[in-house]
Structures are given as C-alpha cells and as structure tokens.
C-alpha cells in the first residue's frame, strides 16, 4: 500500500484510481476493507480522490458513491481526453495528478498520455478470459524488459 507521503513529496494532490482489479475485484460492488482504510488515509492527508473507469456509469457511480469518491466513468482509457478535460475542469495541473491502475495498456498509457504520474499496481485477480489472455503475457514481457533495464542502470 502506497503511503500518502509518497504523493505529498511529489506535489501530487489528486489521485485518479482505476476500479476493476485495482480498488476491487472485477465487477465486484464491495471493496476490500484494506482498500477502504487506504482511501481514508489518503483523504485524511488532503488528497482528492476520483475513480477512473472505462466501465459504464451504472457500474461506476454506485461504487464511487459507496466509497465517497468522485468519478469519471466511460473514461475510454488509454485515450487521455476525459482525464485532460476533468483535470482542466477541476483546475488541476497534470503534474499534480497521479493515475493508478493495474493495466499497462489502459491505465498507465492513459496516465502517460495525459502527462500525469503513473502507478502500476498488481491486479487483484488475474482475469482468465477474453482479450486479457492476450494482453497479460504481453505486459509481462514488457515489464520484464523494463525491470531488467532498471537493474542494468543500478536503480
Ligand atoms: Mg483495472
């Protein structure tokens, strides 16, 4: 679990957090207790919290309400347009926002395209269906290469 000091030290005021497999398991309406505690800690530290999901409003709105989060539904990640628009509307600079999610090609790419800080988290549950089957091994290869590069640089 990332401490709020991580964000504060980097001048980050706003967290855009993916829902499925980041805040909860896929399509599960009930978040884990640890997640609720983490959200409370970030909120207490003064961070602004939004759920950022490609899922439909009908799924995202009740979930966000339950957690006391603002939300962006139908986000069309990895396209950054909705994130850009939301940040502009809130008067928040891209450098002050972090995008957190479990998928490299949606969450992280979206955050990078929007110019935000990005944080890749381990998915809560590995989905064993649909196009994820294709995507996960691809992510693994890219992550392995990235980790190897970091190692090579002595980081
Ligand atoms: Mg996800």
> Does 81 share its domain with 36?
yes
> Does 17 share its domain with 77?
yes
> Does 66 share its domain with 109?
yes
> Does 132 share its domain with 111?
no
Record the pTM. Answer: 0.85
Is the Cβ–Cβ distance between 102 and 122 less than 8 Å?
A: yes
Is the Cβ–Cβ distance between 16 and 72 less than 8 Å?
A: yes
Domain CATH for 99: 3.40.50.1000
Residue-number span of the structural domain to which 143 is assigned: 127-155
In terms of Cβ atoms closer than 10 Å to its own Cβ (0-12, 13-18, 19+), residue 52 is buried
> Does 97 share its domain with 147?
no
Question: How many angstroms separate the alpha carbon of residue 21 from the centre of ligand 1?
Answer: 5
> Does 75 share its domain with 41?
yes
Question: How many angstroms separate the alpha carbon of residue 144 from the centre of ligand 1?
Answer: 20
Question: How many angstroms separate the alpha carbon of residue 53 from the centre of ligand 1?
Answer: 8
Question: How many angstroms separate the alpha carbon of residue 103 from the centre of ligand 1?
Answer: 6
Residue carrying structure tokens 């969450």: 107
> Does 69 share its domain with 82?
yes
> Does 28 share its domain with 103?
yes
Question: How many angstroms separate the alpha carbon of residue 44 from the centre of ligand 1?
Answer: 25
> Does 105 share its domain with 145?
no
pLDDT score for 150: 73
Q: What is the mean pLDDT of residues 132-138?
A: 58
> Does 13 share its domain with 77?
yes
Cross-strand partners of 101: 120
> Does 30 share its domain with 84?
yes
pLDDT score for 130: 47
Question: How many angstroms separate the alpha carbon of residue 93 from the centre of ligand 1?
Answer: 24
> Does 107 share its domain with 131?
no
- pLDDT: which is higher, 130 or 77: 77
Token code pair at residue 129: 């269906």
Burial 71-109 (b: 16+ CB within 10 A, else e): bbbebebbebebbeebbeeeebebebbbbbbbbbebbbb
Number of domains in the chain: 2
pLDDT of 10-56, one tens digit each?
999 999 999 999 998 877 778 878 889 999 999 999 999 999 999 99
pLDDT score for 134: 53
- pLDDT: which is higher, 123 or 152: 123
Preceding peptide of 22 cis, ω within 30°: no
Question: How many angstroms separate the alpha carbon of residue 151 from the centre of ligand 1?
Answer: 27
Sign of CA dihedral 95, 115, 67, 22: negative
pLDDT of 74-112, one tens digit each?
999 999 999 999 999 999 999 999 999 999 999 999 999
């Amino acid at each position: 679990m990332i401490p709020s000091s991580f964000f504060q030290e980097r001048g980050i005021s706003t967290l855009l957090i993916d829902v499925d497999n980041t805040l909860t398991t896929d399509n599960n309406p009930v978040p884990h207790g640890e997640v609720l505690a983490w959200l409370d800690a970030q909120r207490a530290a003064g961070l602004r919290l939004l759920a950022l999901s490609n899922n439909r409003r009908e799924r995202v709105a009740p979930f966000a309400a339950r957690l006391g989060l603002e939300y962006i539904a139908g986000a069309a990640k990895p396209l950054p347009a909705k994130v850009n628009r939301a940040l502009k509307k809130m008067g928040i600079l891209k450098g002050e926002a972090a995008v957190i999610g479990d998928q490299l090609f949606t969450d992280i790419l979206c955050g990078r395209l929007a110019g935000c800080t990005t944080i890749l988290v381990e998915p809560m549950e590995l989905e064993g269906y649909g196009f994820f089957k294709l995507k996960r091994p691809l992510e693994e290869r890219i992550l392995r290469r990235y980790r190897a590069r970091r190692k090579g640089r002595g980081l």
